[in-house]
Amino acid sequence: MSETNKAMIEQYRNSFLSEVEANVEEGEWVKMCMQCGVCSGSCPLGKHWAHPPQEIFMMIRAGKRDEVLTSDSMWMCTSCYNCVVRCPRQLPITHIMHGLATYAKKLGLAPKNQPTARFAEIFWNNMMKKGRVNELKLGLSLYFKDGFGAGIKESLRNKDLGMKMMKAKRMAASEFFGGHGVKDIGGVQKMIQKAQEIEDARMKKFD
């Protein structure tokens, strides 16, 4: 295709789709969606999604930038990969959902106090301190034998879950993270910083 033709096509293209293609993980796949709806029927927490994946893809093509990026929906993705193994067009839906959530957060458009966004941030920040998450204490089987389990149980006993639960978790999390870490933590941190720089440098500006 000649450069002029390409430019003509770009011009008619909805810019939010271009933006997603450029800046969202696996975003170039969005246009491959054929709107069959299989993914939407696959999300375990589907009834809580205001816009299930199929609809999100449609909205991206319709240029509904704010509605998509401020949506709570993709934060309900449990990374179960049901959609991925079922999609007849083999879209990496899980990663697109993650990518949209990450991108929205980067732009400051993610819903405030979204519990999964906050949990993810605690998780990541703590991991970056030592290079490892003490997931045993965070979430895996036998941390119940020590104090952390009691902490979680305490917060669970609280009928008012939701944000209170989140708060308790954050306290518990920061209290119990650590102990084990990567020896070359300096190297890990430099490596991640570099990776972030490289990625940021290839982001395109839209608005």
Per CB under 8 A, residues contacting another protein are 25, 44-45, 48, 75-76, 78-82, 84-86, 94, 98-99, 101-102, 105-106, 115-121, 123-125, 127-128, 131-136, 138-142, 144-145, 152-153, 156, 161-162, 165-166, 169, 179-180, 182-184, 187-188, 190-196, 198-199
CB atoms under 10 Å from CB of 167, counted, come to: 12
Sole residue written with tokens 């458009």: 109
| Cα distance between residue 99 and residue 108, in whole Å | 14
Residue 2 CB, nearest approach to ligand SF4 (Å): 31
From ligand SF4, another protein, none, which one binds at residue 56 (CB under 5 to 8 Å depending on kind)?
none
From ligand SF4, another protein, none, which one binds at residue 147 (CB under 5 to 8 Å depending on kind)?
none
Which residues are near ligand SF4 by CB under 6 A?
33-39, 42-44, 53-54, 57, 77-83, 87-89, 91, 93-94, 97, 133, 135
What's the sign of the alpha-carbon dihedral 89, 95, 97, 103? negative
Q: For residues 6 and 48, which CB has a smaller minimum distance to another protein in the complex?
A: 48
Residue 152 CB, nearest approach to another protein (Å): 8
Angle, CA 12 vertex, CA 11 and CA 14 arms, to 5°: 100
The set of residues, in sequence order, having a beta carbon less than 8 Å from that of 113 and lying 6+ positions away, is 163
From ligand SF4, another protein, none, which one binds at residue 6 (CB under 5 to 8 Å depending on kind)?
none
The set of residues, in sequence order, having a beta carbon less than 8 Å from that of 206 and lying 6+ positions away, is 15, 16, 18, 19, 22, 23
- Helix pair angle (53-61, 93-106), 10° resolution: 60
Q: For residues 100 and 108, which CB has a smaller minimum distance to ligand SF4 in the complex?
A: 100
CB atoms under 10 Å from CB of 206, counted, come to: 13
Q: For residues 33 and 101, which CB has a smaller minimum distance to another protein in the complex?
A: 101
From another protein, ligand SF4, none, which one binds at residue 48 (CB under 5 to 8 Å depending on kind)?
another protein
What contacts 24+ positions apart, CB below 8 Å, involve 165-170?
166/115, 166/118, 166/119, 169/119, 169/122, 170/118, 170/122
Residue 173 CB, nearest approach to ligand SF4 (Å): 12
Answer whether 97's CB lies under 8 Å from 53's CB. Answer: yes
Residue 165 CB, nearest approach to another protein (Å): 6
Q: For residues 13 and 132, which CB has a smaller minimum distance to ligand SF4 in the complex?
A: 132
